[in-house]
Amino acid sequence: MIISLISQDCIDLFFICVSRDAIFTTFATIFIFIIGYLLNRLNEYRKEIKRLNDLEEYFYSLFELLKQPINNQIVNLKEMADNIDDKKKNQFPCKLNVDFDASNLLKITHSDLHKIFVVRKKGEIGTKTERFANMTNALNYINFLKENIVVDYQNYNNSFNQYVKLWTEACQSIITRYDTFCHFNKKDKTPLSNDKFLYDLDKLIFNWSQYEDSKNIYVTQEQFIIPLKGLCKQHHQDERANTILQLVVAANTAFDSIESTKKIYRDQYKENAATLKSKFESFESAIKYFRGENGKEQN
């Protein structure tokens, strides 16, 4: 009771000491401050909504610009795989579409994209999150592929050329040995017909040289190196045949490495094309989802 009286006395004293104008001014100032704060927050909210709306439209515009380059790059990857498979080609260009570039899309922050597509859109949170993940995964893969196509191509070329060099050196060494054997026979005045191994080797080289594309790796391997292996085994008692056989083994080893390298990168380019196609389809499906009824902004 005493406390209540004291409190009431304090209140009465406050109103006696402070004029009504001062009280009104104080409360008016507080009210204006609150209204100003609320209006400022409302203005910031509207600006943020507009920023996100503009950013969403910008995202869609960049996506539309990226569609054709992605489709072109899928075709390019398949062509690169086919070119590796082509036995008539030893070299081929790296086909990288200049416009195959998701860097502008990736410059949009992940947090802003999350606000646009997960926080603001209607739909089940699990579905929205999955669709959003499909978009970001696709963009990351496009960026990864863009950075690695040229690197992979250079690695393929380096490995391929290295093994071709070893194979070519082995083949050239075989011809050099053949020339040396012929030189000694001429020096000794030994007729070619009397040298069964050299006669068979000479005939094999002549038959191989008659092919129009005799310089092709596969033609040489199939029409010269493989038959030569059988010829050397047939004349295994001739030391010269054993010398040639060692070079044939070296050529075969290099050729197997060529084939292995081609298969690795052929399969890789095919897989890249398939993965890019799959991720792009998921990306496109997510865009359609967010642009559809489920993509409307939540109230």
Judge contact between 235 and 200, C-beta under 8 A: yes
Judge whether 15 lies within some domain. no
- The model's pTM: 0.79
**Rounded to an integer, what distance in angstroms lies between the CA atom of residue 269 and that of residue 299?**
46
Judge whether 35 lies within some domain. no
Each of the 299 residues of the chain gets a pLDDT tens digit; together they read 444 544 555 555 444 555 666 666 666 677 676 766 665 565 566 777 898 999 999 999 999 999 999 999 999 999 999 999 898 887 788 888 889 999 999 999 999 999 999 999 988 999 999 999 999 999 999 999 999 999 999 999 999 999 999 999 999 999 999 999 999 988 888 888 899 999 999 999 999 999 988 889 999 999 999 999 999 999 999 999 999 999 999 999 999 999 999 999 999 999 999 999 999 999 999 999 998 855 566 65
- Residue 175: give its domain's CATH number: 1.20.58
Judge whether 205 lies within some domain. yes
Judge whether 9 lies within some domain. no
Judge whether 140 lies within some domain. yes
Give 265-274's long-range contacts (Cβ < 8 A, gap of 24+). Answer: 265/84, 265/152, 265/156, 266/81, 266/84, 266/85, 267/81, 268/152, 269/77, 269/78, 269/80, 269/81, 269/84, 270/77, 270/78, 270/81, 272/77, 272/145, 272/149, 273/74, 273/77, 273/78, 273/81
Judge whether 22 lies within some domain. no
Q: What Å distances lie between residue 285 and 119, 124, 132, 138, CA to CA?
A: 19, 16, 11, 11
Q: What Å distances lie between residue 293 and 12, 121, 122, 218, 288, CA to CA?
A: 62, 10, 8, 58, 10
**Rounded to an integer, what distance in angstroms lies between the CA atom of residue 298 and that of residue 172?**
74
Count of domains forming the chain: 1
Could you list the residue range(s) of the whole structural domain that residue 239 is in?
50-295
Judge whether 1 lies within some domain. no
Judge contact between 214 and 208, C-beta under 8 A: yes
At 94 the three-state DSSP class reads coil
Judge whether 13 lies within some domain. no
Neighbour tally for 235: CB within 10 Å: 18
